[in-house]
Amino acid sequence: MEWGDTLVLRLENVGLRYGDGPEILRDVSFAVRTGDFYFLTGPSGAGKSSLLKLLFLALRPTRGTLRIFGEDVGSLSHSNLPTIRRRIGVVFQEFRLLDHLSTYDNVALPLRVAGKSESSYRRDVMDLLDWVGLAEKSADLPPVLSGGEKQRAAIARAVIAKPQLLLADEPTGNVDPVLAKRLLHLFLELNRLGTTMLIATHDKGLVRQAERPVLHLEQGALNLQ
Amino acid sequence: MKPGAIIPSTAASLTSLTVTMAVMCYLACLAIGALILVDRAVTSWTSGLSREMTIQVRMMRGTDIVQEVEKARAITAAFPGVVSADILDESEGAKLLEPWLGTRSLEGLPVPRLIRVVSDTANPPNIPALEEALLQVKGARLDTHQKWEAELTRMARALSAVSYAILLLICVSAIAIVIFATRAVLQANRHIVDLLHLVGARDSYIARQIDGRFLRTGLLAGFIGVGLGLFTFLLLGLLGGGSESGVAAASRGLLFSTPSIAIWSYGLLFAVPGAATLICLITARVTLMRRLGVAT
Ligand SMILES: Nc1ncnc2c1ncn2[C@@H]1O[C@H](COP(=O)(O)OP(=O)(O)OP(=O)(O)O)[C@@H](O)[C@H]1O
Ligand SMILES: [Mg+2]
């Protein structure tokens, strides 16, 4: 296995536990190359969201080594994190939209915190909102959006900055099959343009349609299916 | 479409911080007012006092007081460094004693006679030598006011030290309150701060979203404090009526003195909002950067 830019993620014997609780992840080892597209499946409570949290640097492994874009996460300082996080887009399972900001402002947030001016991203954000069917809702606040609309806003926010790696946690959990298919096409299209994908899902239909490799997590162990 | 504030100003409002800071600024203004007044009073007392001396000639058995007084005057007037030496007549001397003895007639009482001596400040007389020379006069004693001056200066220094200590305490408590308020704002917006971190915001960016509010709070509180302070001095000045001395006159002096002095007073008082703003801004910023740096 070669090193360098082609390796986006590399986990070696990664273990994770919350506090004194049981080990949620045990000896997880896998590597993801640039342009890969993986699904992550497993029963509820298996630790899919926890694994993703490790990958977007919200948690540190309790043991083992995790490398992201070639950087050893264990030796990263707090001030290095923003640079890496800007290369990763995340769709959170619970969306985590900011209720006091409009849909437009929520989607534009990653660009805004990166210091871009409103005039420079306005067009892109409106186009993306249009594409996910939220153009009419751009001025609405998240609390008045439906579950599926929130999900689409969350996806739009994750992809707006054209991340190199997209981590999505149940991105089709709240939408009907037609919209799910549409979103899958968005992911496949982004992947075709070079974005590496890791999508945690329960949606067997989605996995079947996409015909992409599946990483299965069960009882703390991760296996390629 | 103007982007909305990333940290909403409604979560954890800074109203109580504004009120507390305004009170702090008000107290700081009072302390500064006291400092200026004490400083001004000391200058005017000491400059008057050190120019003047008094010679007391007490009635002694077997001497002619009038002769002795005249002798003392002549010796002093001729002394180098003395501008003038005038004998106060008895009624003038009695007037000086009024505060202690009242307006009763002093007829027949052995009231000492006084000579007012004005010295040349540029070339002051040699006091020990003058005292030596006055030994020729029976019952004469030179009073240089130095004891008074020392006493006044000591008291003024104590008052100034207390005022400085109060200012220092005000600063320390202001910093402490701002630290608590900053933590409260962070706590109330924890979920927003966490998300901002996850979408790649730097600590300095997040801090900038918050510390502007502390800047405005400091500025507003500072001006409220100074406003109240000026109002207080005005009120003190007006309530005291037309009296020439005391707190009332001193307060008027703070507000309406000659331009060169007034510039000082107003300058020091209006430094309060500046200091309040700096304390708010810097404390909030340092607290934010330290707290944000602890997060993952
Ligand atoms: N912050 C936390 N503190 C303690 N335990 C946690 C925490 N987050 C998750 N867990 C535990 O870790 C285990 C895995 O949770 P996780 O959310 O990763 O599962 P999941 O695979 O995403 O489940 P689902 O498919 O339902 O989303 C669960 O048993 C959960 O109780
Ligand atoms: Mg989950």
How many CB atoms are closer than 10 A to CB A213?
Answer: 12
Residues of chain B with confidence (pLDDT) below 50 = none
Report the 10 Å Cβ neighbour count for B230. Answer: 18
- The two three-digit tokens of residue B127, written as one number: 């006091």
Answer yes or no: are the C-beta atoms of B42 and B35 closer than 8 Å.
Answer: no
Chain A positions touching B192 (Cβ under 8 A) are 98
pLDDT value, residue A1: 42
Ligand 1: does its nearest atom lie under 6 Å from the Cβ of A44? yes
Amino acid at A36: D
Assess whether the C-beta atom of A46 lies below 6 angstroms from ligand 1.
yes
ipTM score: 0.94
A18 in contact with ligand 1, CB cutoff 6 A? yes
Q: How far is A225 from chain B (nearest CA, A)?
A: 30
Per CB distance under 8 Å, which residues of A are interface residues toward B? 56-60, 78-79, 81-83, 85-86, 90, 96, 98, 100-102, 104-105, 108-110, 112-115, 118, 139, 157, 161
pLDDT 10s per residue in chain A (225 long)? 444 457 999 999 999 999 999 999 999 999 999 999 999 999 999 999 999 999 999 999 999 999 999 999 989 999 999 999 999 999 999 999 999 999 999 999 999 999 999 999 999 999 999 989 999 999 999 999 999 999 999 999 999 999 999 999 999 988 888 889 989 999 999 999 999 999 999 999 899 999 999 999 999 999 998
pLDDT digits (tens, 9 = 90+) for B16-48: 999 999 999 999 999 998 888 888 777 777 666
pLDDT at B235: 87
Nearest CA in chain A to B208: A113
Q: What atom in ligand 1 is closest to the CA of residue A202?
A: 25
A-chain residues near B3 (CB < 8 A): 105, 108, 112, 118
Helices (H), B189-258: 190-198, 203-239, 246-255
| Fold classification of A7-87+163-224 (topology level) | Rossmann fold (3.40.50)
> B203 to chain A: which residues are within 8 Å by CB?
78-79
Please check whether residue A107 is in contact with residue A125, taking contact to mean a CB–CB distance below 8 angstroms.
yes
Ligand 1 atom with the shortest distance to the CA of A42: 21
Give me the pLDDT at residue A167, please. Answer: 98
Instruction: Please report the pLDDT score of residue B236 as a whole number.
Output: 83
Nearest-angstrom CA–CA distance, A102 and A156: 13
pLDDT for the residue B134: 87
Burial track A88-119 (b if 16+ CB lie within 10 A, e otherwise):
bbbbbbebbbbebbbbbbbbbbbbbbbeeeee
Is the CB of A157 inside a 6 Å radius of any atom of ligand 1?
no
Alpha-carbon gap, residue B97 to B113, rounded angstroms: 11
Residue among A196, A177, A187, A206 at smallest CA distance from A87 = A196
Q: Where are the domains of chain A?
A: 7-87+163-224, 101-156
The pLDDT assigned to B126 comes to 86
Per-residue pLDDT, A141: 97
How buried is residue B292: exposed, middle or buried, by Cβ count under 10 Å (0-12/13-18/19+)?
buried
Q: Please tell me the predicted confidence (pLDDT) of residue A28.
A: 95
Say what the pLDDT of residue A225 is.
85
Order of strands, sheet of B113-119, starting from the edge strand that comes earlier in the sequence: B82-87, B113-119, B52-57, B140-143
Between chains, do B199 and A56 touch, taking CB under 8 Å as contact?
A: no
Residues of A in contact with B10 (CB under 8 A): 100
